[in-house]
A = this chain, B = another copy of it.
């Protein structure tokens, strides 16, 4: 094991995943502890116990967390997935356990983006846009090697780009957000709508009825992979809307690369070409039409790996 290690953690509602990376960002060890949904301090103490054997080698600690994270202040604001952690001092809680080590905190999608930038699909690029297709759609922007946090730590909410003022409803209260088409919840909603329509195949209708509340995008992508026209059309629309958003983002930022991650990206074969075609048709600057739209590489550890990188570069980030 390397003598210089960086600890990166990604806090979810039930578990905190962590990695120990070496100075090249390679994962040397990984694990998880249970999240205490009411106590930041208790959860970080559990993390401290879990990594105690490597404490002397630790050079820095990074923590990624869903919600509005202020990396400068080291605090968590609004956090729908961790209501008991809202308005907590993340840096303080980490400092109490990992006394004297540099600490970095970040929003979870920004953590994942930074991980991809340093160790994954974003290597060698300088400006990146990331879309994370999960239950909802998260996003992150990297500009000149720095995460764009925003004046109120509110940047990167790409999932709430409104693509049609009369589009389907989004949990945020608006209509026609990208998330309403390209998040898992939106895909399931659209599937139910299609199943209720005239044009749906019998197989599609049967799947939606049988799965009922248990219906997931995976059921639908499996049916699409078998060639079912209704399921194929559903994913075609995911790609078209994703492409509309990607085209808009490239026209605004013209990044080196666009990275698509999150659980839905496993079915990218069903929508990535449509996405690319739609995006390219919208991009004004000819050279920018070549922008690579690539899949994330680091999988579920991306945010923890990115948090470890941020801890390592904490002076650079501040």
Among the stretches A148-156, A186-194, A223-231, the one at the interface with B is: A148-156
Q: Is A1 an interface residue (CB 8 A)?
A: no
Chain B's nearest CB lies how many Å from the CB of A307?
A: 21
Knowing A151-B255, A252-B252 are in contact, say whether A172-B288 is a contact too (CB < 8 A). no
Q: Is A52 an interface residue (CB 8 A)?
A: no
B244 in contact with A284 (CB, 8 Å): no
Q: Is A68 an interface residue (CB 8 A)?
A: yes
Hey, which chain B residues are within 8 Å of A282, CB to CB? 160, 162, 174
A157 in contact with B284 (CB, 8 Å): yes
Which B residue's beta carbon lies closest to that of A78?
A: B286
B151 in contact with A288 (CB, 8 Å): yes
Hey, which chain B residues are within 8 Å of A251, CB to CB? 154, 157-158, 160-161
Chain B's nearest CB lies how many Å from the CB of A153?
A: 7
A227 CA to B293 CA in the complex, in Å? 48
Hey, which chain B residues are within 8 Å of A153, CB to CB? 254, 285, 287
Q: Is A164 an interface residue (CB 8 A)?
A: yes
Q: Is A28 an interface residue (CB 8 A)?
A: no
Which B residue's beta carbon lies closest to that of A257?
A: B151
B254 in contact with A154 (CB, 8 Å): yes
Chain B's nearest CB lies how many Å from the CB of A87?
A: 13
Please tell me how many copies of the chain the complex holds. 2
Among the stretches A38-46, A92-100, A137-145, A260-268, the one at the interface with B is: A137-145
Q: Is A195 an interface residue (CB 8 A)?
A: no
B247 in contact with A284 (CB, 8 Å): no
In this complex, the member of A146, A155, A252, A290 whose beta carbon has the largest number of chain B beta carbons within 10 angstroms is A252
Main secondary structure of the interface of A (DSSP, over half): loop
Which B residue's beta carbon lies closest to that of A255?
A: B151
Partner of A161, one of B68, B78, B248, B290: B248
B174 in contact with A253 (CB, 8 Å): no
Q: Is A291 an interface residue (CB 8 A)?
A: yes
A151 CA to B252 CA in the complex, in Å? 11
A283 CA to B157 CA in the complex, in Å? 9
Hey, which chain B residues are within 8 Å of A68, CB to CB? 285
Knowing A162-B247, A244-B165 are in contact, say whether A287-B152 is a contact too (CB < 8 A). yes
A151 in contact with B164 (CB, 8 Å): no
Hey, which chain B residues are within 8 Å of A162, CB to CB? 163, 244, 247-248, 282
Q: Is A207 an interface residue (CB 8 A)?
A: no
A78 CA to B284 CA in the complex, in Å? 11
Hey, which chain B residues are within 8 Å of A141, CB to CB? 252-253
Partner of A253, one of B150, B240, B250, B254: B150
Knowing A165-B164, A251-B157 are in contact, say whether A150-B244 is a contact too (CB < 8 A). no
Hey, which chain B residues are within 8 Å of A284, CB to CB? 154, 157, 160, 172
A-B pairs, 3 with minimum CB distance: A150-B254, A154-B285, A152-B287
Could you list some 10 contacts between A and B, CB below 8 A? A127-B150, A141-B253, A150-B255, A154-B288, A155-B252, A156-B252, A160-B284, A161-B248, A163-B164, A163-B165
